[in-house]
Amino acid sequence: MAGSPVIVLNDGVEIPQLGFGVYKVPQDEVEAAVATALEVGYRHIDTAKLYDNEEGVGRAVRSSGIPRDEIFVTTKIWNDDHGYDETLAAFDASMARLGLDVLDLLLIHWPCPGQDRYVETWRALERLQSNGRVRSIGVSNFHVHHLHRLLAETSVVPSINQVELHPLLPQDELRMFDTAHGIVTEAWSPLARGALLDDPTIGAIAARIGRTPTQVVIAWHLALGNVVIPKSVTPSRIAENFDVLDIELTDDDVAAITGIGEAGRRLGADPDDLG
């Protein structure tokens, strides 16, 4: 299979557009899952402190035989680690678990507006990047108003905003804002937790091009320019999710899939309600 296309972030760092997510993959399964993903061709692995599997991700990366600079690794600062000093300590702990010297991408996992500390947390990320410990820094689950404040009060524009995004919740306004400010949008829960597999619009497109509904949805993300991180622990599905790079959806296909979510349907928490 061909390698994933890459996107150049606003700091010049290149990120593989199609990555592998490990949310809710148990520690005792994640090493094998990541190893399979790397064998298939993925070169972008997305983890977090919350997932409690950074150790296994790090082992898989280190033992893969693939040069470290060819694998893009993301982790995240969890909600109870907000604050400048707390973030620096949490980063050190994550890096110890991963067993890596330099991280490719560090995200603030949620803005946690109730704590009102995401600006000082961001300043810690800026320091880590300036010190060369992190190549790129970004955010996750930030609404437009959170981004407005970050842009007004700090000096580094996030490279990524990772948010819940799928055809039921296409996030048009947020994607437009991100694009206007040089921020790449990344999709978590890109398959809407399986809620789209029986959708007739997606099913008709899949039947026409001879692919699965899952593959059509991932191809939709790629066509929109999203970074996308589907997850599976089943080797055949890990391979299926990566075997999408030759799919060419028409503009009408993309519009039809985007139109599924006109009312919008959030499956996860609203960022304003968490923390």
Residues 6+ apart with CB under 8 A from 59: 31, 99
Q: What is the mean pLDDT of residues 39-65?
A: 98
Q: Give the phi and the psi of residue 195 in degrees, each rounded to 5.
A: -70, -10
Which one, of 146, 84, 128, 74, lies nearest residue 104 by Cα?
A: 74
Q: What gap in Å lies between CA 210 and CA 204, rounded to an integer?
A: 10
| Residue 167 in domain | yes
For residue 17, which of 28, 5, 1, 34 has the smallest C-alpha distance? 5
Say if 220 falls within a structural domain. Answer: no
Contact 99, 129 (CB under 8 A): no
- pTM here is 0.97
Catalytic residue among 23, 42, 51, 118: 51
Task: Give the integer Cα–Cα distance in Å for 185 and 147.
Answer: 13
Residue 236 reports pLDDT greater than 90: yes
Residue 183 inside a domain? The answer is yes
Question: Strand 6-8 and strand 14-16: pairing?
Answer: antiparallel
- Asked if residue 109 is part of any domain, the answer here is yes
CB 166 within 8 A of CB 261: yes
Residue 118 is assigned to a structural domain of this protein: yes
Which of 24, 12, 18 is CA-nearest to residue 40? 18
**87 in a domain, yes or no?**
yes
E strands of the chain, at which residues? Answer: 6-8, 14-16, 20-21, 44-46, 72-77, 103-108, 134-140, 160-164, 184-188, 227-228
pLDDT of 1 > 60? The answer is: no
The whole domain housing 164 covers 6-194+225-237
136 falls within a domain: yes
Residue 275 pLDDT: 80
Model confidence pLDDT, tens digit, residues 118-170 = 999 999 999 999 999 999 999 999 999 999 999 999 999 999 999 999 999 99
Number of structural domains (the chain) is: 1
Round the average pLDDT of the chain to a whole number and report it. 97
Active site residue 51: yes
Domain of 154: which CATH number? 3.20.20.100
**Whole-angstrom distance, CA of residue 19 vs CA of residue 118:** 26
Q: How far apart are CA 45 and CA 39, in angstroms?
A: 13
Query: Is 242 part of any domain?
Result: no
Q: What is the pLDDT of residues 54-94, one digit of tens each?
A: 999 999 999 999 999 999 999 999 999 999 999 999 999 99
